[in-house]
Structure 1
Amino acid sequence: MTQHSCGAGPGFSYRSRLEHVNDSTPRARLDLLRFLERVQERDLARTRRWIADEERRQAEHARGVANRPPEPDWLIERGFGDQPATHVHAASCWCAQGDRLRGVTEDQARRALAEGYRRARSVGRT
């Protein structure tokens, strides 16, 4: 004998149960409809909270993107460990990748080149 998840034993039928609900008195039916209305209002309120939360997250993301500092035009590549900086890169340089890069102004890049930093292969090319 199988036991249904609702606790009903053998001979249980959802159909007979639904017919019983539909045959209830008008007052009981109205109570059921009011209950359904409360459940749906609660679900709608939760959905509206989810929408408001998502709109807030998207607005925060848009503000973050708008407030980002501009990308630097020049980068200085630091050496490994305690080694001094090694190269000056244009931001568009194909090899200007990694976490050893620091954004600098054009004047700082010129000074670094004058101090003996090597120019990356793509610096000065278009």
Structure 2
Amino acid sequence: MNEESSRLQLLHFARQVVEQQATAALTQIDQWIADEERREAERRRGELARPAPPEWLIQYGLNRTNVDAVHTGDCWAAAKSGRCHPASREQAVDALTQQVPPCLHCRPDTALGILE
């Protein structure tokens, strides 16, 4: 009888251990879910708070004084140069009329309606 009683106690103990482990695992997963939901909400808030990209960009030379090119605001080549500054439509048109070359990839002269 003592062996059966010990076996039953061991089974109850094993059940308690499994229950504790499952509860701990669920708590950890719930924390991971909450963390991910918080990150996703922060990402969405960041996207909403991000200012609109400029329509036009002026690319400056290495010495930061010479104007090298005019780009549209979403030009991939301008993003790689790191030397571009936002510009108004008027500034972009003015630069192009003063013989600043348009980007060969995004063709801001075509987008602005300026034909050579």
| Same topology, TM > 0.5 | yes
Q: Determine helix, strand or coil for the equivalent of 1:80.
A: coil
Highest RCO, 1 vs 2 (Cα 8 Å, sep ≥ 6): 2
Q: Which has the higher helix share?
A: 2
Q: Quote the residue 2:114 is aligned against.
A: none
CA distance in 1, matches of 2:76, 2:9: 76
Q: Quote the residue 1:51 is aligned against.
A: 33
Give 1:118's match in structure 2, choosing from 100, 108, 112: 100
Q: Return the offset for 1:63.
A: 1.3
Q: Which runs of 5+ in 1 are unaligned?
A: 1-22
CA shift digits 1:85-125 (9 cap, x unpaired): 232223355753521111222233345456x3614162331
Contact 1:77-1:85 within 8 A present in 2 as well = yes
CA shift digits 1:23-65 (9 cap, x unpaired): 9532331122112111110111011101111111111111112
Q: Quote the residue 2:83 is aligned against.
A: 100
Larger Rg computed on CA atoms: 1
How many residues are aligned here? 104
Contact 1:87-1:118 within 8 A present in 2 as well = yes
CA distance in 2, matches of 1:107, 1:92: 18
Q: Quote the residue 2:9 is aligned against.
A: 27
* Aligned CA-pair RMSD: 2.7
Q: Counterpart amino acid of 2:90?
A: D
Is the deviation greater in 49-58 or in 77-86? 77-86
Counterpart mapping for 1:1-20 below 5 A: none
TM-score of the aligned structures, taking structure 2 as reference length? 0.70
Q: Percent identity over the alignment? A: 31
Q: Quote the residue 2:18 is aligned against.
A: 36
Displacement over 6 Å in runs of 4+: none
